[in-house]
Amino acid sequence: MYALRRRPPATRWICQLCSSRQTRLFSSTSPRREILPIHDLPPRIHPTYTKCADSKLVSMTWPSPPRNVMIVKKPGVDSVRDSLVAFAEHITTTYPGTSIILEPAVAQSVHHRLSRPVYTLPPPERPSPFPFTQSPYPRTPSSSPAASSSTSTTSSSASSHTHPSAHAHPAAPPPTSPYHTHTDLVATLGGDGTILHAASLFSTQRAVPPFLCFAMGTLGFLGEFKWAEHVAAYASVISAAAATDSCSGVRILQRNRLKAGVFGGRGTGGAQLTAHAMNEISLHRGREPHLTIFDVSIDGAFLTEAVADGLIVSTPTGSTAYSLSSGGSILHPSVRSLLLTPICPRSLSFRPLVLPEDAQITLRLSEKNRGREVEVSVDGRRWGGIGAGQEVRVWLEGVGIGEGERGGEGRAGGGIPCVKRGGGRDGDGWVGGLNGLLKFNYPFGEEE
């Protein structure tokens, strides 16, 4: 039999004191906080963009090296999580003074594996309807079209073909997230879906920080770099801070975004809410067994009554996504245009249309529609639903240099600036992506 030994009184007192004060013995420093609020970071650094004659891409330079880097990863993959840890360690070790921003759930899962603190959003004061972001600053929209459809609208003298930006305003100003004011650079580790998610975090921001994308997903058509290139790719972005000439910076492809507003129909009232999309906005029948019926107008002129499973309005970037699967054309991402593609139309003569960048597409759900509502999706995520008489107006967000939110010269306004590799005849890598990833015009029965 072993006798239990009682702790001496002094030892018991020290343990009780340690527990009550939550301090560490034999240490003069307080416990280290590994997850810090993003508000502690310095303000965002805005890069400068220059259109150069020798390239169809723009050149980006930094007034000073970026200090706050946000890393967005593909969820649920251990290898991608390990890559995030390695990338964060490389950045903070090689470039001292650089801070890492992570989404709250990611910060909780990896902070114990990092040697330096990470920054994230503070816990929400109230439950968030957007659990994926786990943020009090929701992705666009701030409410659902279904909820807005019950809201009464006041009559307006504005006609339905007037460009929405001239008279339509959302019910509330777009929310400003700390991501917008503290993120200098966004790095994505994953596939195209990860890039779309990262872009959605800045959907209400006109001046989006540059995106450095690593293809670690299933297809990775939008990802410019392989993971094995992460050291050199990040170094090339940082080197733009030391560029001696405005055209010697890192190459950037500005990808257009769509902007859409839900209206009460026939030009009544302003926009009930707005959304931004990098790929496409789709209206589809969802679980309803009946085909949808839309009145389609272009710049206020009636085009057709569309009877189909749904309709897709996509950007040139989104032309290789859902629109392509529905028979749409493939557009180069630098072609500023909109693409209207029907989903399984009843008429075989209803073909996809490519429209100019200043066109406005109005899709009004007809009273003839047999279903109660039609689902609206933004970049593959359900946005809500619209009822008969409501309409969705879609136009292309303007992209330009010197149009940034702060009005500075050379700051890009609109779109998603994506870092591209330099050199080579195919400067933007688009042709290589068509051949290598989409297997464009690949003959049947032949192996690589």
Number of Cβ within a 10 Å radius of residue 84: 25
Please choose, from the candidates 94, 407, 375, the residue with its C-alpha nearest in 3D space to the C-alpha of residue 262. Answer: 375
- Judge contact between 278 and 202, C-beta under 8 A: no
Please choose, from the candidates 353, 350, 274, the residue with its C-alpha nearest in 3D space to the C-alpha of residue 313. Answer: 353
Query: Active site includes 78?
Result: no
Please choose, from the candidates 171, 211, 193, 194, the residue with its C-alpha nearest in 3D space to the C-alpha of residue 380. Answer: 193
Number of Cβ within a 10 Å radius of residue 210: 24
- Judge contact between 177 and 249, C-beta under 8 A: no
Catalytic residue among 184, 192, 309, 428: 192
Tokens 């609109």 locate to: 414
C-alpha to C-alpha distance for 135 and 388, rounded to whole angstroms: 33
C-alpha to C-alpha distance for 128 and 146, rounded to whole angstroms: 18
Please choose, from the candidates 50, 51, 88, the residue with its C-alpha nearest in 3D space to the C-alpha of residue 185. Answer: 88
Please choose, from the candidates 299, 302, 334, 339, the residue with its C-alpha nearest in 3D space to the C-alpha of residue 162. Answer: 299
Residues designated as active site? 192
